[in-house]
A = this chain, B = another copy of it.
Amino acid sequence: MRILIADDDPQILRALSITLGAHGYDVVTARDGREAIGAAASEHPDLIVLDLGMPELTGIEVIEAVRGWSTLPILVVSGRHDSGDKVDALDAGADDYVTKPFAVDELLARVRALTRRAAPTLDSPTARLGAVTIDLAAHLVLRRTSDTEEVVRLTPTEWRMLEVFAKNPNRLVTRELLLTEVWGPQYTTDTGYLRLYVSQLRKKLEPDAARPRYLLTEAGMGYRFSPDE
Protein backbone atom coordinates (compact mmCIF):
# COMPACT_ATOMS: atom_id res chain seq x y z
CA MET A 1 0.00 0.00 0.00
CA ARG A 2 1.71 3.16 -1.25
CA ILE A 3 0.93 6.69 -0.04
CA LEU A 4 1.97 9.98 -1.61
CA ILE A 5 2.45 12.78 0.93
CA ALA A 6 2.46 16.28 -0.51
CA ASP A 7 3.35 19.12 1.87
CA ASP A 8 5.68 22.11 1.61
CA ASP A 9 6.55 22.11 5.31
CA PRO A 10 9.59 19.79 5.60
CA GLN A 11 8.91 19.15 9.26
CA ILE A 12 5.37 17.90 8.70
CA LEU A 13 6.51 15.98 5.63
CA ARG A 14 9.16 14.19 7.68
CA ALA A 15 6.85 13.48 10.61
CA LEU A 16 4.12 12.06 8.38
CA SER A 17 6.59 9.97 6.41
CA ILE A 18 7.97 8.40 9.55
CA THR A 19 4.55 7.76 11.06
CA LEU A 20 3.01 6.25 7.93
CA GLY A 21 6.16 4.32 7.16
CA ALA A 22 6.11 2.84 10.66
CA HIS A 23 2.61 1.59 10.02
CA GLY A 24 3.63 -0.43 7.02
CA TYR A 25 2.90 2.03 4.23
CA ASP A 26 5.24 2.64 1.35
CA VAL A 27 5.78 6.43 1.38
CA VAL A 28 6.50 8.81 -1.53
CA THR A 29 6.81 12.57 -0.99
CA ALA A 30 6.31 15.80 -2.92
CA ARG A 31 7.13 19.40 -1.89
CA ASP A 32 4.89 21.45 -4.15
CA GLY A 33 1.84 21.11 -6.35
CA ARG A 34 3.63 20.40 -9.61
CA GLU A 35 5.74 17.70 -8.01
CA ALA A 36 2.63 16.22 -6.40
CA ILE A 37 0.87 15.83 -9.76
CA GLY A 38 3.95 14.28 -11.29
CA ALA A 39 4.38 11.82 -8.43
CA ALA A 40 0.67 10.94 -8.48
CA ALA A 41 1.10 9.91 -12.11
CA SER A 42 4.50 8.24 -12.03
CA GLU A 43 4.59 6.58 -8.61
CA HIS A 44 1.13 4.97 -8.75
CA PRO A 45 0.20 5.65 -5.13
CA ASP A 46 -2.92 4.11 -3.60
CA LEU A 47 -3.75 7.31 -1.72
CA ILE A 48 -2.65 10.96 -1.57
CA VAL A 49 -2.30 12.99 1.61
CA LEU A 50 -2.40 16.53 0.25
CA ASP A 51 -1.63 19.82 1.97
CA LEU A 52 -3.69 22.64 0.51
CA GLY A 53 -1.29 25.51 1.12
CA MET A 54 1.54 24.66 -1.24
CA PRO A 55 3.48 26.87 -3.63
CA GLU A 56 3.41 26.52 -7.43
CA LEU A 57 -0.22 25.41 -7.64
CA THR A 58 -3.16 25.68 -5.26
CA GLY A 59 -4.40 22.51 -3.67
CA ILE A 60 -7.65 22.75 -5.57
CA GLU A 61 -5.76 22.82 -8.85
CA VAL A 62 -3.81 19.73 -7.84
CA ILE A 63 -7.04 17.89 -6.99
CA GLU A 64 -8.62 18.85 -10.30
CA ALA A 65 -5.53 17.82 -12.25
CA VAL A 66 -5.34 14.42 -10.57
CA ARG A 67 -9.09 13.87 -10.97
CA GLY A 68 -8.63 14.46 -14.68
CA TRP A 69 -7.25 10.95 -15.06
CA SER A 70 -7.57 9.17 -11.75
CA THR A 71 -10.06 8.29 -9.03
CA LEU A 72 -7.51 7.45 -6.37
CA PRO A 73 -8.48 8.63 -2.87
CA ILE A 74 -7.31 12.11 -1.83
CA LEU A 75 -7.14 13.10 1.83
CA VAL A 76 -6.67 16.84 2.25
CA VAL A 77 -4.77 18.21 5.24
CA SER A 78 -5.06 21.95 5.75
CA GLY A 79 -4.61 24.70 8.28
CA ARG A 80 -7.73 26.41 7.02
CA HIS A 81 -10.77 25.69 9.19
CA ASP A 82 -13.24 27.65 7.10
CA SER A 83 -16.12 25.49 5.91
CA GLY A 84 -16.00 27.18 2.51
CA ASP A 85 -12.49 25.84 1.93
CA LYS A 86 -13.63 22.36 2.90
CA VAL A 87 -16.59 22.50 0.52
CA ASP A 88 -14.38 23.67 -2.33
CA ALA A 89 -11.84 20.91 -1.80
CA LEU A 90 -14.42 18.16 -1.37
CA ASP A 91 -16.40 19.29 -4.40
CA ALA A 92 -13.23 19.48 -6.46
CA GLY A 93 -12.84 15.76 -5.87
CA ALA A 94 -11.19 15.28 -2.48
CA ASP A 95 -12.50 12.40 -0.38
CA ASP A 96 -11.75 13.74 3.08
CA TYR A 97 -10.57 16.93 4.77
CA VAL A 98 -8.67 17.11 8.06
CA THR A 99 -7.70 20.39 9.72
CA LYS A 100 -4.37 21.07 11.41
CA PRO A 101 -3.46 20.39 14.06
CA PHE A 102 -4.74 16.84 13.85
CA ALA A 103 -4.34 13.69 15.95
CA VAL A 104 -2.09 11.19 14.19
CA ASP A 105 -4.24 8.19 15.12
CA GLU A 106 -7.28 9.92 13.62
CA LEU A 107 -5.40 10.55 10.38
CA LEU A 108 -4.36 6.90 10.26
CA ALA A 109 -7.95 5.78 10.84
CA ARG A 110 -9.14 8.03 8.01
CA VAL A 111 -6.45 6.63 5.73
CA ARG A 112 -7.65 3.12 6.56
CA ALA A 113 -11.28 4.11 5.92
CA LEU A 114 -10.41 5.61 2.52
CA THR A 115 -8.26 2.73 1.32
CA ARG A 116 -10.92 0.27 2.47
CA ARG A 117 -13.59 2.12 0.52
CA ALA A 118 -11.51 2.63 -2.60
CA ALA A 119 -10.12 -0.89 -2.75
CA PRO A 120 -12.98 -2.61 -4.61
CA THR A 121 -13.12 0.19 -7.17
CA LEU A 122 -9.63 -0.61 -8.42
CA ASP A 123 -9.22 -4.37 -8.51
CA SER A 124 -10.59 -6.80 -6.01
CA PRO A 125 -7.60 -7.65 -3.81
CA THR A 126 -6.57 -11.02 -5.15
CA ALA A 127 -3.61 -13.19 -4.31
CA ARG A 128 -1.99 -15.34 -6.98
CA LEU A 129 -0.48 -18.78 -6.39
CA GLY A 130 0.58 -20.02 -9.80
CA ALA A 131 -2.57 -21.51 -11.34
CA VAL A 132 -4.69 -20.58 -8.33
CA THR A 133 -6.30 -17.18 -7.74
CA ILE A 134 -7.76 -16.18 -4.37
CA ASP A 135 -10.36 -13.40 -4.15
CA LEU A 136 -10.91 -12.78 -0.46
CA ALA A 137 -13.78 -10.28 -0.87
CA ALA A 138 -15.80 -12.56 -3.12
CA HIS A 139 -14.82 -15.60 -1.08
CA LEU A 140 -13.75 -17.20 -4.32
CA VAL A 141 -10.84 -19.45 -5.24
CA LEU A 142 -10.26 -20.29 -8.90
CA ARG A 143 -7.89 -22.87 -10.33
CA ARG A 144 -6.78 -22.83 -13.95
CA THR A 145 -6.39 -26.29 -15.44
CA SER A 146 -5.15 -26.46 -19.03
CA ASP A 147 -8.04 -24.53 -20.60
CA THR A 148 -10.86 -24.16 -18.06
CA GLU A 149 -11.17 -22.32 -14.78
CA GLU A 150 -12.85 -24.24 -12.03
CA VAL A 151 -14.08 -23.06 -8.65
CA VAL A 152 -12.23 -24.53 -5.69
CA ARG A 153 -14.60 -25.20 -2.83
CA LEU A 154 -13.40 -24.55 0.70
CA THR A 155 -15.15 -25.46 3.94
CA PRO A 156 -15.79 -22.70 6.53
CA THR A 157 -12.82 -23.77 8.66
CA GLU A 158 -10.53 -23.87 5.64
CA TRP A 159 -11.67 -20.36 4.72
CA ARG A 160 -11.06 -18.92 8.16
CA MET A 161 -7.58 -20.39 8.07
CA LEU A 162 -6.83 -19.11 4.58
CA GLU A 163 -7.99 -15.65 5.64
CA VAL A 164 -5.45 -15.59 8.45
CA PHE A 165 -2.73 -16.56 5.99
CA ALA A 166 -3.84 -14.05 3.37
CA LYS A 167 -3.78 -11.24 5.90
CA ASN A 168 -0.21 -12.12 6.91
CA PRO A 169 1.60 -12.83 3.64
CA ASN A 170 5.32 -13.59 3.75
CA ARG A 171 5.33 -13.44 7.54
CA LEU A 172 5.61 -16.21 10.05
CA VAL A 173 2.11 -17.10 11.16
CA THR A 174 2.43 -18.67 14.60
CA ARG A 175 0.45 -21.73 15.58
CA GLU A 176 -1.01 -19.73 18.42
CA LEU A 177 -2.36 -17.03 16.09
CA LEU A 178 -3.92 -19.59 13.76
CA LEU A 179 -5.55 -21.53 16.57
CA THR A 180 -7.00 -18.48 18.30
CA GLU A 181 -8.30 -16.96 15.05
CA VAL A 182 -9.85 -20.15 13.70
CA TRP A 183 -10.83 -22.24 16.72
CA GLY A 184 -10.76 -19.76 19.60
CA PRO A 185 -8.30 -18.76 22.31
CA GLN A 186 -8.91 -21.90 24.39
CA TYR A 187 -7.50 -24.22 21.71
CA THR A 188 -3.94 -22.85 21.60
CA THR A 189 -2.35 -26.25 22.19
CA ASP A 190 -4.29 -28.37 19.69
CA THR A 191 -1.65 -28.40 16.99
CA GLY A 192 -3.18 -31.52 15.47
CA TYR A 193 -5.96 -29.40 13.97
CA LEU A 194 -3.37 -27.32 12.19
CA ARG A 195 -1.63 -30.30 10.63
CA LEU A 196 -4.96 -31.61 9.40
CA TYR A 197 -6.31 -28.41 7.90
CA VAL A 198 -3.01 -27.20 6.45
CA SER A 199 -2.84 -30.53 4.70
CA GLN A 200 -6.30 -30.04 3.24
CA LEU A 201 -5.57 -26.49 2.16
CA ARG A 202 -2.45 -27.70 0.37
CA LYS A 203 -4.42 -30.35 -1.46
CA LYS A 204 -6.75 -27.65 -2.76
CA LEU A 205 -4.25 -24.84 -3.41
CA GLU A 206 -0.81 -26.28 -4.10
CA PRO A 207 0.24 -27.66 -7.48
CA ASP A 208 1.95 -30.53 -5.62
CA ALA A 209 0.68 -30.93 -2.06
CA ALA A 210 3.59 -33.20 -1.14
CA ARG A 211 6.10 -30.44 -1.96
CA PRO A 212 4.46 -27.19 -0.82
CA ARG A 213 5.53 -24.01 -2.58
CA TYR A 214 3.19 -21.40 -1.13
CA LEU A 215 2.15 -22.72 2.28
CA LEU A 216 5.41 -23.52 3.99
CA THR A 217 6.06 -25.23 7.31
CA GLU A 218 8.23 -23.54 9.89
CA ALA A 219 8.87 -26.51 12.16
CA GLY A 220 8.19 -25.86 15.81
CA MET A 221 6.75 -22.40 15.19
CA GLY A 222 4.02 -22.23 12.58
CA TYR A 223 3.57 -21.63 8.86
CA ARG A 224 4.46 -19.04 6.24
CA PHE A 225 2.22 -18.06 3.32
CA SER A 226 4.14 -16.77 0.28
CA PRO A 227 1.98 -15.89 -2.71
CA ASP A 228 3.55 -14.91 -6.04
CA GLU A 229 4.81 -11.31 -6.00
What is A's interface to B at a CB cutoff of 8 Å? 71, 73, 83-84, 86-87, 90-91, 94-97, 103, 105-106, 108-110, 112-113, 117-118, 120-121, 137-140, 151, 153, 155-156, 159, 170-172, 218-221, 224, 226
Cβ contacts under 8 Å, A71 to chain B: 120
Excluding A90-B112, A138-B171, A156-B220, 13 further A-B contacts by CB distance (< 8 Å) are A83-B105, A84-B105, A86-B106, A87-B106, A90-B110, A94-B113, A117-B117, A138-B172, A140-B170, A140-B171, A140-B172, A155-B220, A159-B221
7 A-B pairs in the complex with CB atoms less than 8 angstroms apart: A90-B106, A138-B171, A140-B171, A153-B218, A155-B219, A156-B219, A159-B221
A85 to chain B, nearest CB (A): 10
CB pair B138 A221 closer than 8 Å: no
A39 to chain B, nearest CB (A): 22
The residue from B91, B112, B118 contacting A117, defined by CB atoms under 8 A apart? B118
A95 to chain B, nearest CB (A): 6
Cβ contacts under 8 Å, A73 to chain B: 117
